[in-house]
A = this chain, B = another copy of it.
Amino acid sequence: MTVTIKDIARIAGVSYSTVSKALNNSPLVKEVTKRKILKVAEEMGYEPNLAAKQLVRKKTDVIGLMWPTIERIVLATLVTNISKAFEATPYSMILSVDSPETAMDTFKKFQVDGMIVFGESNKISVTTDNIPFVIYGVSGKNETTSPIIDANHEASMQKAVKHLFELGHRHIAYIGHLDTEDALQSEKVEGYEKAMKHFGLNEYIQIINSNGLNWFDGYTAIDEVLGQEKLPTAIIGGSYDISGGILRALQEKGVRIPADISIVSYDNIPQMATMEVPMTCTGVPVDILAEEIVHTIIERIESDEEIESVKKLSPTLTERESSGPPPNKR
């Protein structure tokens, strides 16, 4: 038999409403009694019954995270960080890997207070009968009233190019996934181009299509780079995996990083620090991103006012060993 507040009340010699108040840290109960009650509760191994609480409070303190494409690992780190970020809040998070429809059903059933959605917002907005939610993804052509959290990809690229430019690089190539529907990828390339132009490096713009976002795509793309007459002195990799492949391929060909070629990678995740060569990277640090997402959904739940609907987060450039001055400046 599980222990309820009535049991506590009996043992502690008070009424169970007092117990309830004490447990909720109400100012309406004397410090001494509060402490006594808490102690008794502790001893009896009391665990509040969420269902009962929810029944009267009309609130679950639970937030659902919809993550339908679990098999693309890129977001796993973000999920982990979001999960961690919630630990500092009164909210719990549950994760659904089902289709948006099934996930919605589950979340409705649990009566979550809010939802976090990754990616496209298309179908969701229709069925989301007034459960507040935030979207993490590209802020392109969405016409939802819910807040969208997005990294500022253009600024990320700006920072990467700036960093390399100031080190003395001119010929800075970009390797990423082109020709895709994925708006995120296009934004990155465009950001790169803009930044190059901004620094007057138009003639050095070189974009290489990796034809994919995976490790191997970066690995093979290097052939194209090394085949050319004039090598770039720096390469910007379009994703964590791509950069990993780039790094590996270069090392195998005897290219020294960063002495011969510098690399800067998109995606600011801790794993960058533990690569073969610790990787300089640009992007919104994943813990900040997580923090922001969590913060936003909670705010959206707790305040009735609408919040600004698109939030572009500023990236950080994290400098590591993979980037340094170009050969001619050493």
* Bound CA–CA A268/B324 (angstroms): 45
How many residues of A are in contact with the other chain, CB < 8 A? 34
Which residues of chain B have C-beta atoms less than 8 A from A51's C-beta? 50-52, 54-55, 60, 111
Contacts of A60 in B (CB 8 A): 51
| Chain B residues, Cβ within 8 Å of A309 | none
Alpha-carbon gap, A219 to B245, bound state (A): 12
Q: Shortest 9 CB-CB distances between A and B: which pairs?
A: A95-B95, A51-B54, A51-B51, A94-B94, A73-B73, A71-B76, A51-B55, A70-B76, A83-B97
Could you give, for residues 27-55 of chain A, a 1 whenever the CB lies within 8 Å of some chain B CB and a 0 otherwise? 00000000000000000000101111011
The 0/1 profile, CB within 8 Å of B marked 1, for residues 212-232 of chain A is 000110010000000000000
> Shortest beta-carbon distance, A57 to chain B, in Å?
10
- Is A50 within 8 A of B111, CB to CB? yes
Counting CB contacts under 8 A, is A153 at the interface?
no
In A37-89, the 8 Å CB interface with B consists of 47, 49-52, 54-55, 60, 70-71, 73, 76-77, 79-80, 83-84, 87
Contact present for B95 and A96 (CB under 8 Å): yes
Interface of A is mostly: helix
- Across-interface contacts of A47 in B (CB, < 8 A): 108-109
Copies in the complex: 2
Interface check A144, CB cutoff 8 A? no
A110 to B324, CA, bound (A): 51
A47 to B127, CA, bound (A): 14
B95 with A94: CB separation less than 8 A: yes
A98 within 8 A of B: yes
A216 to B76, CA, bound (A): 20
Which residues of A are interface residues toward B (Cβ below 8 A)? 47, 49-52, 54-55, 60, 70-71, 73, 76-77, 79-80, 83-84, 87, 92, 94-98, 102, 106, 108-111, 215-216, 219, 248
A80 vs B102: C-alpha distance when bound (angstroms)? 13
Chosen A-B contacts, 8 in total, with CB atoms closer than 8 Å, are: A47-B109, A50-B51, A51-B111, A52-B55, A70-B79, A80-B97, A83-B97, A215-B215
Residues of B within 8 A of A76 (CB): 70-71, 73
Contacts of A108 in B (CB 8 A): 47
A110 contact set on B, CB distance < 8 A = 50, 94
Is the CB–CB distance between B95 and A216 below 8 Å? no
Which residues from B are CB-within-8-Å of A219? 216
> How close is A22's CB to chain B, nearest CB, in angstroms?
20
- For the A-B complex with A50-B51, A70-B76 known, give 19 more contacts whose Cβ atoms are closer than 8 Å: A47-B109, A49-B111, A51-B55, A52-B55, A55-B55, A70-B79, A71-B73, A71-B77, A73-B76, A79-B97, A83-B96, A83-B98, A84-B98, A87-B98, A87-B102, A92-B109, A94-B96, A95-B95, A216-B248
**Would A109 and B55 count as touching, CB distance under 8 A?**
no
Report A86 CB to chain B, min CB distance, Å: 9
Please give the distance in Å from A228's CB to the nearest CB on chain B. Answer: 21
Residues of B within 8 A of A102 (CB): 87
Residues of B within 8 A of A87 (CB): 98, 102
Distance in Å from the Cβ of A248 to the closest Cβ of chain B?
A: 7
